[in-house]
Amino acid sequence: MTMTSAPTSHAVPVAPSTGALRPLGLDEVRITGGLWAERQRVNGTATLDHIEHWLEREGWLANYDLAVAGSLPDGRRGREFSDSEVYKYLEALSWEIGRLQSVSDAAASVDRLEARLRAIVTRVAAAQEPDGYLNTRFGRPGQEPRWTDLEWGHELYCLGHLFQAAVARVRTRPDADDGLVEVARRAADLVCEVFGEGGDERICGHAEVEVGLAELGRALGEPRYLEQARIFVERHGRGTLADIEWGRSYYQDDAAVRDADALRGHSVRANYLAAGATDVAVESGDRELFDALDRQWDRTLERRTYVTGGQGSHHQDEAFGEDWELPSDRAYSETCAGVASVMFSWRLLLASGEARHADLIERTLFNVIETSPDASGTAFYYANTLHQRVPGAPADPDAVSPRAHSSLRAPWFDVSCCPPNTARTFASLAAYLATADASGVQLHQYAPSIVRTVLADGRAVAFEVETSYPRSGSIVVRMLADSAEPWRLSLRVPAWAGGATLALRPTGGGEAQRWPAEPGIVSVERAFAAGDEVVLELPTTPRFVAPDARVDAVRGCLVVERGPEVFALESVDLAATPLAASDFADLRVDPRVAPVDAVVGVGTGDDARVLVRLVDARTDAAADVPLVPYHAWAERGPSTMRVWIPAL
């Protein structure tokens, strides 16, 4: 197998050739403790197995075997896009292998995952046709011909995920000889041939191939793929896809990317496209396109994003609503839209270096992506409601559930993109924590972690981060080595963290210095000595947050936040209070009583709650009731729930 050398050897999902910041990869950053380490542990030990079990059980993997046996379309199972879940799973496996490579004593796990990945790649590769075409649903006798249903067929979408899997593989195991990268390359070559300039002028009804091609081009040093990504991005808005009941905005074929005001239509499609378009803008130096995307991001955040970071206000078309249309009870806030939003924001952050993008990434990680899986990592929310009016029935652990029953986490769905999509995100999460530039290193997300990298000019940087964030706002960065030359450590101060401070505590008891730290980016430049500590103190007193007055759905309500976490009121927490018999719809929060930290019960950090004073508007009964972090709701059986609570 031949392979073009990649322009970066680091294990990162996104590697722009230019931009304000260079992302640090899994080989440079490792999460060592806290919420995210626990999630990575569960993801690696439970979720991945769970996904493969269901991919087999539902026949989505066997579809490839049927293709090889020549028996398709008979026996094919799953929706038209089921191949894509296999590719997302391969991507998740690849990142997990990459992650474990930097963990001592994980060699056995790596070997086990390698074997599984290779077994699946072998089945997939066998189904690829001689010209590179790969899809179990189209193109064989008795199936619809290739590319005849771009609106709904998802052929290019599936390939986009194949490309992302190959990118993960080549960046974590560049010497692998399993064939995945070659499969992707042959498929990408075919896409360029069929859909290149002068060829088929249409786009895919579900964006994804754009971002997949762009990153594959970067990873393999293949400008044709980047060019094809550009072509697809530019073709959006030409109306080459059929008009449908929800309008062409559903698949972003209503307006050119550079002409749009905000993200619109299907919220996963919109974010995948925006991520790919950002790659294209960066690689082609298209400032106009980049600025358009950045403006769309701003407007979408201001007017079309839930307090959780969730996006998508419609069940019907899984789509953004109009500006300010953000119902809590019908919030769709699809898990995969959260994943896609992080992809978009991360690309803008790398290009611009601006903290607002990392702020949204943090909000979305804690309150959308982490909300989807339960503690065991084997049941998921597809949609993430912000208001559960009626306790949902528990999902059947042995059955496929409808995708958008927001009342419950379920093991698997007829459309089951969220399990592998969260899995690939968690496995690669360390790659979203830190970046480097000519001046030094930037920390964007806070977790117990170790960072070791070498700056472009050869200066070595090594530090560890010690924190119980988000339970406390103290973040201690401790240097692990002496630096001969000064370098700059930059830290993000989230927008919610008014009153933060930054301190430098030199090793050996030298005099500490302390500065106020305004929201945005703060930094310390120094020839650090091993043991030097930089301490960021973020105030994490629980707080009420009022909505924008233009959001009709939550007028007169308050939400409680602490640090990056949004809290929720769950009816199970009323049982032991004087409000046990109250109608959930009658409860009001008393805004004059500040929310306070509380530890309820014994146990882990997940039991750290926030108390608020609630009043029954009908009976005047009152009680201090503990709220739960939104991402941990519905872990204690069926319950009603609300994030925004009407104020007295």
DSSP strands (E only) in 53-135 = none
Exactly one of 179, 265, 321, 494 binds a second copy (CB under 8 A); which one?
321
Residue count, binding to a second copy (CB under 8 A): 34
**Residue 223 three-state SS:** helix
| Residues 455-484: x where in contact with a second copy by CB under 8 A, - otherwise, as a string | ------------------------------
Looking at beta carbons only, is 304 or 492 nearer to a second copy? 304
Looking at beta carbons only, is 296 or 435 nearer to a second copy? 296
Question: Which stretch in 167-175, 348-356, 545-553, 602-610 sits in contact with a second copy by CB under 8 A?
Answer: 545-553
| Residues 411-450: x where in contact with a second copy by CB under 8 A, - otherwise, as a string | ---x------------------------------------
Asked if residues 481 and 462 have their Cβ atoms less than 8 Å apart, the reply is yes
CB of 302 to a second copy, least distance (A): 12
Q: Report if residue 316 touches a second copy, rule: CB under 8 A.
A: yes
**Pair type for strands 520-526 and 487-493:** antiparallel
Q: Report if residue 323 touches a second copy, rule: CB under 8 A.
A: yes
Exactly one of 66, 410, 455, 554 binds a second copy (CB under 8 A); which one?
554
CB of 258 to a second copy, least distance (A): 21
Looking at beta carbons only, is 220 or 560 nearer to a second copy? 560
Q: Report if residue 544 touches a second copy, rule: CB under 8 A.
A: no
CB of 322 to a second copy, least distance (A): 4
Give the closest residue to 420 by CA, choosing from 58, 106, 9, 30: 58
**Pair type for strands 520-526 and 587-589:** unpaired
Q: Report if residue 298 touches a second copy, rule: CB under 8 A.
A: no
| CA-derived radius of gyration, the chain | 24
Q: Report if residue 122 touches a second copy, rule: CB under 8 A.
A: no
CB of 646 to a second copy, least distance (A): 6
Looking at beta carbons only, is 238 or 315 nearer to a second copy? 315
Complete DSSP assignment for 446-513: -SSEEEEEE-TTS-EEEEEEEE-TTSS-EEEEEE-S--SS-EEEEEEE-TT-TTEEEEEE-GGGPPPE
Residue carrying structure tokens 């249903």 = 149
Both tokens of residue 301? Answer: 């955040």
Distance of CA 23 to the CA centre of its chain: 16
Residue carrying structure tokens 């078309």 = 317
Q: Report if residue 514 touches a second copy, rule: CB under 8 A.
A: no
Asked if residues 420 and 51 have their Cβ atoms less than 8 Å apart, the reply is yes
Task: Report 573-592 residues binding a second copy (CB under 8 A).
Answer: 583, 585-586
Give CA–CA dist 412/50, Å, rounded: 9
The amino acid sitting at 395 is: A
Looking at beta carbons only, is 517 or 569 nearer to a second copy? 569
Exactly one of 196, 486, 556, 637 binds a second copy (CB under 8 A); which one?
556
List of residues 6+ apart from 314 with CB closer than 8 A: 320, 321, 330, 332
Give the closest residue to 518 by CA, choosing from 533, 540, 537, 499: 499
Exactly one of 314, 347, 363, 478 binds a second copy (CB under 8 A); which one?
314
Give the closest residue to 156 by CA, choosing from 237, 282, 242, 272: 272
Both tokens of residue 195? Answer: 């859909």
Looking at beta carbons only, is 249 or 421 nearer to a second copy? 249
**CA geometry: angle 157, 18, 4, nearest 5 deg:** 65
Q: Is 531 exposed, middle or buried (0-12, 13-18, 19+ CB in 10 A)?
A: middle
Exactly one of 56, 200, 291, 329 binds a second copy (CB under 8 A); which one?
329
**Residue 285 three-state SS:** coil
CB of 469 to a second copy, least distance (A): 33
**Residue 46 three-state SS:** helix
Work out the angle between the directed axes of helices 287-303 and 355-364 (0-180°, nearest 10): 50
Exactly one of 328, 385, 442, 571 binds a second copy (CB under 8 A); which one?
328
Q: Report if residue 550 touches a second copy, rule: CB under 8 A.
A: yes
Residue carrying structure tokens 């993008």 = 357
| Residues 184-223: x where in contact with a second copy by CB under 8 A, - otherwise, as a string | ----------------------------------------
Give CA–CA dist 518/263, Å, rounded: 30
Question: Which stretch in 33-41, 316-324, 343-351, 505-513 sits in contact with a second copy by CB under 8 A?
Answer: 316-324
Looking at beta carbons only, is 36 or 413 nearer to a second copy? 413
Question: Which stretch in 286-294, 483-491, 506-514, 547-555 sits in contact with a second copy by CB under 8 A?
Answer: 547-555
Question: Which stretch in 82-90, 229-237, 438-446, 548-556 sits in contact with a second copy by CB under 8 A?
Answer: 548-556
Residues that bind a second copy (CB under 8 A): 245-246, 314-316, 321-325, 327-330, 387, 389-390, 402-404, 414, 549-550, 552-557, 583, 585-586, 617, 646
